[in-house]
Homo-oligomer: A and B are copies of this chain.
């Protein structure tokens, strides 16, 4: 029942169901006296919102943030930042069928069993809609990090079998938003887009991986022994809907090297502490569970029924997950930065 807060000194708490009145959150630990452009926060939210392109869910949410506290005259007060995003496009009727059916691959059934009750409209609290609050929190974290020269940039590294053929340090990460896929390697991006469109048109979905690069880190972030920097990043990443795996760049591949070879690889952490190098990691996202194709599903009486999902879904979560990955990484780094200042 805890579980809706993240961080120690820079802590985000979120609330809200997909089809309730609003989602929102509280950021505790935002340092005082920092200039905040709410346009920037809104910009980050717009990168995540549905309906932004032909390859995302057509659901319409303006996701307009209302900041209720903690900022006065565009400057932070050192007090908690409360914010809300009212839900707008609540076509709850779309979901009536789901009152008695558990969608395959979703949390519907376990939620019912864990809590004894479930807001079935759009997944309720288990919906990825909750991540909008994370993006808002992450935007404030990015503002904190920018003050000390730390940046966080993610991009789509692979969609299904299509993979960017070069390393992150050979890409211009400022171009991430230049295409719908948020892949800065244009040729790959075009192929990924086609792949996503095909999934969309066939009522199916596809997964992939996102790479995130953190630059400008000082030496020393990360708290031995349990809160190693990459351990907390892994926690953060796998708390994102549909995430299935995390590795420091080449984390799985390096298991096939000798130590004498691997010791040459710089990497961004040593013993769980940032070492001043760029820190890059990769997150695996499964293909979205909600698909338009007919599927067999269990209903609340335990019977198998045929489900043809209505609702308006993403054929591929990756493009919209890029700002979420960045947000969660920024939350981790801002917290570690505050922990380190002492």
Contact = CB atoms under 8 A, between A and B. Distances in A.
Interface of A: 1-6, 8-11, 13-17, 20-26, 28-33, 66-70, 72, 75-82, 84, 104-111, 113-119, 124-126, 130, 158, 160-161, 199, 204-209, 219-220, 223-228, 230-232, 234-239, 241, 244-248, 250-252, 254-264, 270-275, 284-291, 293, 295, 338-342
How many copies of this chain are found per oligomer? 4
Listed residue (A263, A272, A341, A342) with the most chain B CB atoms within 10 angstroms of its CB: A263
B260 A15 contact: no
A210 to B, nearest CB: 10
A9 B342 contact: yes
A225 B263 contact: no
Given A72-B17, A223-B3, A209 B260 contact: no
A104 to B, nearest CB: 4
Given A13-B5, A255-B207, A224 B79 contact: yes
Given A116-B32, A223-B2, A80 B13 contact: yes
A158 to B, nearest CB: 7
B16 A13 contact: no
Contacts of A272: 107, 239
B293 A260 contact: yes
A263 B298 CA distance: 13
A262 B246 contact: no
Which are the 6 A-B pairs with shortest beta-carbon distances?
Answer: A107-B271, A3-B223, A245-B247, A245-B251, A15-B82, A244-B251
A171 B287 CA distance: 28
Given A15-B79, A32-B117, A259-B105, A68 B4 contact: no
A324 to B, nearest CB: 12
Contacts of A70: 15, 17, 20
Contacts of A84: 68, 82, 84
A207 B260 CA distance: 11
A15 B69 contact: yes
Nearest to A66: B21
A119 to B, nearest CB: 5
B209 A255 contact: yes
Contacts of A286: 251, 254-255, 257, 259, 262
Contacts of A119: 72, 77, 79
Nearest to A254: B286
Nearest to A83: B15
Nearest to A110: B273
A255 B78 contact: no
A11 B13 CA distance: 11
Given A15-B26, A15-B79, A251-B284, A270 B234 contact: no
